[in-house]
Amino acid sequence: MPYFDHNATTPLAPAAREAWLHAQDDAWQNPSGLYGTGARVKVRLEAAREQLAPLLGCAAKRVVFTSGATEGANAVCAHLARTLPPGTLVAVNRTEHPCVLEAAKFFLGERVVWLEVDRHGVIAMGPLEKLMTAGGPSTRSASSGQAGSGLPVGAVLVMAANNETGVLQPWRDLAKLCRRHHAAFFCDASQWLGKLPAAGLGEADWVIGSAHKFGGPKGVGFVLAAEGAQDFHAQQGGGQEHGHRAGTENFPGVAAMVASLIEAETKKVLLETERLRWRETFERTLPAALPGVRVVGAGAERLWNTVSLILPHGENTRWVARLDKRGFQVSTGSACATAKEGPSHVLAAMGYSPEEARRVIRASAGWETAETDWPKLAQALVEVSAEVKPAEAVISP
C-alpha cells in the first residue's frame, strides 16, 4: 500500500534495523560502566560520532546525541537565551516546525524578530540582510522595512527544508551571511537529512536532526553544537555526552541512526534527480485530471519527495479519509500540527487564506516509493474528487 507520509515518519531502513539489533545484542551495557564491556560500548559510541561528523563536514566533538529534533530545538533555544548578550535579537523564520517556533517563543520571547517568507515559502534574504546590517526594526517583523533600532541580531533560525511544503531554504547563503555578521546560525535539518546530501551542513553553528525522518528509529537524534560551546547542556543531570547531554546514552539507537544516514548518503541521495522527475511528472499531469488543483510553493525549489496540494473543493480531512480507504496514507500538513486547531502557520505565512489551508493535503514519498505509485495516487485523487464534490454541484439541476 503506497505510504505517502514520510515527512511524518519513515519505516525503519534495513541497515538501521541490522545495526540496532547488532548493538542491542552485543553492546547493550551502559557506556559509563567501568568494566570492559561498558568501555567497549563507549568506544563504539565515539566511533559513531566520528562516522556522523564527516557526513556533515564538522568535527566529531560538535556532535551531541539526543532523543530527537524537538529536544535539540529546545536545548539550542535555551542555550541561546542563556548566552546571547542582553539586547541581542534573534531572527526566526515564520515557517519553522512548531518545535523551533514554540521553543523560540518560550526561551527567547521578546528577543524574537520574525522573518517573512515570499509567496513560494522562501526566506526573503533582502530584509534579513538589512536587519542584520541596520539592527532590529521597531516592529517585530523583518519585512516591515522600518529603519533599524540598532539592536544587533545575535542568531538566525531558519530550517533547511520545510516539513509541510518541502520548500528548501538557502541555508548555505544564510550560514555565510551570519558568519559575516557574527551571528549564530541555527538550522533545523530534520527534513533535509537523508533526502539530500548533508555535506556542508556543518557550516551552520547549530544543526538538529531526527533519525526517524531518514529511516532510523524514533527517539534518537542529534545536535551539532557550535564550535567551542563548552557550556551547552541539552539536559541537566549526569555528565554523559562529554557533559553536553545528561541521560544514559541510547547506543543502539545511535548506531541505527548513523547506519541509516550513511546508507542514505552513499546509496540514496544520488537518486535525487530521478525522484524529482517522478514528482514533477505527477505535478505536471495532475491538473488535467483534477482541474483546479494547485501546488503549494510551486515556484520554489522543493524536496524531491514532497508535494503539498490545494484541492479544488472539500475539506482536506475528507480527502485524507477517503484516500486512506484506498490504501494511500497522506496528511493534511504536518503530523505535529494535526492535534492543533486552526490552519497551518506555514500556509498563512505564504499568504494562503484559512479557507485554502483547509483544502491542503501533503503527500511525501520515500526511497521505497515506486515511480508507478505517483500516477496511482493521481488516479485515487481523481476518484476521491468525485466523492467529495461540493454539495451545490450535486443538487444543482
Task: Write the Ramachandran bin of 305: left for phi over 0, alpha for psi from -120 to 50, otherwise beta.
Answer: alpha
Measured between alpha carbons, how far is 370 from 217 in angstroms, rounded to an integer? 23
Measured between alpha carbons, how far is 387 from 171 in angstroms, rounded to an integer? 42
Candidate ranges 51-59, 174-182, 334-342, 389-397; the one touching ligand PLP (CB under 6 A): 334-342
Q: Interface with ligand PLP includes 362 (CB under 6 A)?
A: no
First to last CA, the chain: 38
Least distance to ligand PLP from the beta carbon of 69, Å?
Answer: 4
Candidate ranges 65-73, 76-84, 295-303, 368-376; the one touching ligand PLP (CB under 6 A): 65-73
Candidate ranges 20-28, 142-150, 227-235, 333-341; the one touching ligand PLP (CB under 6 A): 333-341
Q: Is 366 exposed, middle or buried (0-12, 13-18, 19+ CB in 10 A)?
A: buried
Which residue(s) pair with 255 in the sheet? none
Least distance to ligand PLP from the beta carbon of 5, Å?
Answer: 11
Q: Interface with ligand PLP includes 70 (CB under 6 A)?
A: yes
β pairing state of 206-210 and 153-157: unpaired
The one among 93, 165, 191, 260 contacting ligand PLP by CB under 6 A: 191
Least distance to ligand PLP from the beta carbon of 222, Å?
Answer: 11
Residue in 58, 178, 187, 336 annotated catalytic: 336
Q: Say whether 336 is catalytic.
A: yes
State how far the alpha carbon of 273 is from the alpha carbons of 195, 268, 278, in Å: 11, 11, 9
β pairing state of 294-295 and 306-310: antiparallel
Q: Interface with ligand PLP includes 99 (CB under 6 A)?
A: yes
Residues 95 and 349: beta-carbon distance below 8 Å: yes
Q: Interface with ligand PLP includes 75 (CB under 6 A)?
A: no
Q: Which is nearer to ligand PLP, 2 or 221 (CB)?
A: 221
Residues 105 and 112: beta-carbon distance below 8 Å: yes
Q: Would you state the cell numbers that stand for residue 156, as one nine-digit string?
A: 538566525
Q: Lay out the site mask for ligand PLP across 218-257 (x = CB under 6 A, - = otherwise).
A: ---x------------------------------------
Closest alpha carbon to 4 in 327, 271, 285, 345: 327
* Three-class SS of 229-287: CCCCCCCCCCCCHHHCCCCCCCHHHHHHHHHHHHHHHHHHHHHHHHHHHHHHHHHHHHH
Q: Interface with ligand PLP includes 69 (CB under 6 A)?
A: yes
Q: Lay out the site mask for ligand PLP across 144-173 (x = CB under 6 A, - = otherwise).
A: ---------------x---x----------
Q: Interface with ligand PLP includes 68 (CB under 6 A)?
A: yes
Least distance to ligand PLP from the beta carbon of 286, Å?
Answer: 24
Least distance to ligand PLP from the beta carbon of 334, Å?
Answer: 6
Q: How many residues bind ligand PLP (CB under 6 A)?
A: 16
Least distance to ligand PLP from the beta carbon of 118, Å?
Answer: 19
State how far the alpha carbon of 251 is from the alpha carbons of 16, 30, 59, 217, 275, in Å: 12, 9, 20, 12, 32
Binding site for ligand PLP (CB under 6 A): 68-70, 97, 99, 159, 163, 188, 190-191, 210, 212, 221, 334-336
Q: Which residues are catalytic?
A: 336
